[in-house]
Structure 1
Amino acid sequence: MEFKHTSILLQESVDFLITDKNGIYVDCTMGGAGHTSGFAAQLEAGGLILGIDQDDDAIKVASERLLGKFPCQTKVAKSNFKDFARVLDELGIDKIDGIFFDLGVSSYQLDCPERGFSYMHNGPLDMRMNQEAQLDAAYVVNNYKEEELAEIIHKYGEERWSKRIAQFIVAARKEKPLTTTFELVDVIKKAIPKGARVDGPHPAKRTFQAIRIEVNNELGILAATMEAAVERLKSGGRIGVITFHSLEDRIIKQTFAKLVKGCTCPPQLPVCVCGKKPILKKAGNMVPSAAEVEENPRSRSARLRYAIKI
């Protein structure tokens, strides 16, 4: 299957991030190199773009699309984005001019049935972004306790029927383990009352999102990774993050706000005693245009959050 993925907010991301055509830039979620190529196209011979991804398919495709194809230096590394600092250290890179994250799952991962991310295609219950990882969706679905499943589906999927879905999953797996995405979809459909399934998104959407987040620890690594990313920026360096759902967007928004504010003293104190100074400025956000949403409906929930290091 061809690695197809339409880069969202591409021009906006490039326009914001690239300030020095001979600078060093890192795309921590390279995927099929859509954004990475956009950044690389703006750089001159003295510039460097480093693309990082944990997905073997992405590494293979992006390497073909990036390496040796642009005037600037291009490098590709396999890693979870939370470990980007280790990759920089291994390459002898200290401070960088810009860093970028496109969170969530790629169109290729969603459209590839064998990866098990989609409730629209039948495939194995996998959902691992790093195919070498131990934990997969089948283990979560078949081994987590009912209370754990209910909590994950409620917390990460914001699903109002979480307890009922967990109850139905546990009942179904007693008959036989759930091994495919469509088997899980059938259980979810049975769990959600018919009247609640008429309107809104696909009944399995929230549960699949929740299990995917659990398998890949997507939210647990975000805040610390953002702070580490800002730490590696040069003065005036820029960070851009594309989010796709309220949970991850809230974490990015709050982390940026904290770094813009600096001081962590209680509001009732007349003067600052913590001594923490603001690290970021000009934090803002933008969403896709109506034309982009019409052309690519998957961009509808996307939001680009950005900030500049002081």
Structure 2
Amino acid sequence: MVDKVSRNNWGKWGEDDQRGALNRIDVAATKRGIAAVKAGHSLPLAIPLSSKGPIAGMRANPQHFMTRDGGDYCAGLKEKGFGYADDVVILPTHGTTHIDALAHVWSDGKMWNGYSCNQVTSRGASKCSIESMGPIVTRGIFLDFAGPDGPCEFEDVAISVEQLQLAYERTELQAESGDALIVRTGWLQRWRNGQAKETLWAGLDPDCADWINEKGFALVAADNIAVEFGPSPLACNAAPMHVALMRNFGVVFMELLDLEALAISARHDFLLMVSPLPIVGGVGSPVNPIAVL
């Protein structure tokens, strides 16, 4: 049975649910995303897979190694009708542009839908793991807080719920159940320019969690380390928005997106496509989200 606590969506999509607010993405949400396509131009939203990309301090970058290359043939390896190259990537699931599984966070020993954190072991998660998600195809709504006169244009600050509401109203769009909220804070671009570090990043204030859930969003994403502002303003909780929005409401997070080209496009709605790797027991997955304008 699912434990009931106040202010959550536990049990909303069934007591055995492991997909959370992604259940909001129904046929209507997908068709709404498809209808948002106007130019047919596609933009990748992932940062390059590199050993030098931005990451949170406790994580590791991807590592790329060659297991066969041209040097092997120069050293005497003989071609048998052809030569070839092969490689291996060591890829931390949260070490680049990624999506969090609902098993990623918990509080008071409970994760999404009341599942015990004991169901995440050294062998992975037996509940709410990344392979439960499936593909995500819906409408994205883009809000740019790092543009001219935006609160994050020049510095890394928390975005208040009032600022979130104002930016949303300026798009003149109406969010519907199953949409994805995409937020540009400018942190990634500042990091690339040497003007920001992994110890401080612009992001959404934790108070934005209720607003995002009430609008019916299935997913929230940003060009920073954690979507929410960091470090946390709360000494007792290092990731209060993850707890309130992911653990309690089942809304999925994507982090470290490259939103610069999307900002230049000046488009606020588009088709968003994301396909997490079906890592059995995984608590996250690298992704290359695609925006179709």
TM-score normalised by the shorter chain: which range applies?
Answer: under 0.3
Question: Which structure is higher in helix share?
Answer: 1
TM-score, normalised relative to structure 2: 0.23
